[in-house]
């Protein structure tokens, strides 16, 4: 852990920070798994080394009321640590960020996993307070602003110190963009603690190049441009992203252990950093995009409804 990072004070809460070392139920046996897993194997997603050709559809994935055998096999002697994106993963993409509400059934699936003692974190581009209020499960870890701002039970806390020093640069960019884009119909400027998002889902296509140029000109030294689904974003220009945030949480909660299998579910380009961070030690599951794009994920789900089914299946296989 670098000197820039700060972990929880004292011991983290074992029910939310790590899988118990003793008293845990044995992993499901080979005989147990077919009863818990009822549908055919989902098709593995083609990864970075075998990206689908341009225009090709994503591989077809069966509804995940069961776990893929590849995932189930790796969970026979390991326990899951779950990392979840919010928009486009737990909830559908909507026209305005404030309209993305978590379905009660999905919240219950996440709650069941966390209550069973499995570490669960939501890693979002949203502001920390925003995503924490939307999910509304206090036993979870939350990483906001693409991981620059992290909080969780047991005193877990990180505000990236170098990013704190760059907040005045974001303030200046916010003022500049508010003035430059005031006359652009449909644009939405969203200030977060450690980033600035310019949403253009409701902007006429002819206005988008000028909007992108304005964002580029607002990128003061110390800021970087990033993209997502119908959004341009400015962030601190630091070697920090969702993948670094996942690594920090794993280290801080002592989850970098052979008996833990980290799983990351996400849909956006910013989630690719987390997929890459887990290569060789965990699994990435992409919520499919159209048109298809290169991905470092290992498996695919079709949409947030399938994410909920996957989480429910995971809770059945590992009920705590």
Render 275-296 in DSSP notation, one character per residue. Answer: HHHTTTTSEEEEEP-SS-----
β-strand 299-301 against 283-287: which pairing, if any? parallel
Closest residue by Cα to residue 190 from 234, 135, 144: 234
- pLDDT one-digit tens code per residue, 194-203: 999 999 999 9
Query: What is the Cα–Cα distance from 188 to 118, expressed in whole angstroms?
Result: 37
Closest residue by Cα to residue 272 from 262, 255, 286, 292: 286
- pLDDT one-digit tens code per residue, 2-30: 334 444 444 333 223 333 333 444 433 32
* Sequence-ordered strand ranges (E) for 125-268: 141-144, 149-152, 156-159, 188-191, 196-199, 223-228, 231-236, 260-266
Mean pLDDT of the residues in the chain: 80
Sorted by where each starts, the structural domains of the chain and their CATH numbers stand as 74-91+119-160+243-320 (3.40.50.1000), 163-236 (3.30.70.1020)
Q: How many residues are listed for the chain in this entry?
A: 320
pLDDT at 314 over 70: yes
Query: What is the Cα–Cα distance from 186 to 131, expressed in whole angstroms?
Result: 23
**Catalytic entry in 21, 73, 77, 85:** 85
Assess contact for 263 and 118: CB atoms under 8 A.
no
Phi, psi of 310 (to 5 degrees): -65, -45
Order across the sheet with 223-228: list the strands.
188-191, 196-199, 231-236, 223-228
85 is catalytic: yes
- pLDDT one-digit tens code per residue, 58-83: 443 434 456 777 788 888 889 999 99
* pTM confidence score: 0.79
Closest residue by Cα to residue 198 from 168, 217, 178, 221: 178
DSSP helix/strand/coil, 104: helix
Largest pairwise CA distance in the chain: 64
- pLDDT one-digit tens code per residue, 144-158: 999 999 999 999 999
């Amino acid at each position: 852990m670098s000197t820039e990072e700060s972990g929880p004070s004292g011991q983290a809460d074992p029910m939310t920070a790590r899988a118990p070392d003793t008293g845990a139920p044995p992993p499901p046996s080979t005989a147990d798994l077919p009863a818990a897993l009822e549908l055919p194997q989902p098709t593995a997603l083609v990864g970075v080394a075998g990206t689908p050709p341009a225009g090709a559809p994503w591989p077809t994935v069966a509804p995940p009321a069961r776990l893929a055998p590849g995932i189930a096999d790796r969970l026979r002697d390991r326990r899951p640590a779950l990392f979840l994106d919010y928009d486009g993963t737990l909830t559908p993409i909507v026209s305005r960020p404030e309209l993305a509400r978590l379905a009660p059934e999905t919240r219950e699936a996440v709650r069941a996993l966390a209550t069973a003692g499995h570490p669960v974190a939501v890693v979002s581009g949203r502001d920390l307070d925003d995503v924490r209020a939307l999910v509304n499960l206090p036993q979870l870890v939350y990483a906001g602003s693409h991981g620059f701002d992290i909080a969780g039970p047991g005193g877990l806390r990180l505000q990236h110190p170098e990013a704190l020093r760059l907040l005045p640069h974001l303030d200046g960019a916010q003022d500049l963009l508010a003035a430059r884009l005031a006359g652009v119909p449909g644009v939405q400027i969203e200030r977060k603690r450690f980033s600035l998002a310019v949403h253009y889902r409701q902007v006429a296509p002819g206005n988008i190049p000028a909007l992108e140029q304005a964002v580029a000109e607002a990128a003061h030294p110390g800021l970087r441009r990033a993209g997502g689904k119908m959004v341009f974003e400015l962030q601190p220009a630091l070697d920090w992203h969702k993948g670094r945030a996942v690594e920090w949480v794993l280290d801080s909660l002592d989850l970098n252990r052979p008996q833990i299998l980290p799983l990351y579910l996400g849909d956006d380009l910013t989630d690719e950093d987390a997929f890459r961070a887990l290569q060789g030690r965990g699994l990435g599951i992409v919520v499919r995009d159209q048109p298809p794009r290169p991905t470092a994920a290992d498996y695919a789900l079709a949409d947030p409804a399938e994410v909920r089914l996957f989480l429910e299946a995971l809770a059945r296989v590992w009920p705590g």
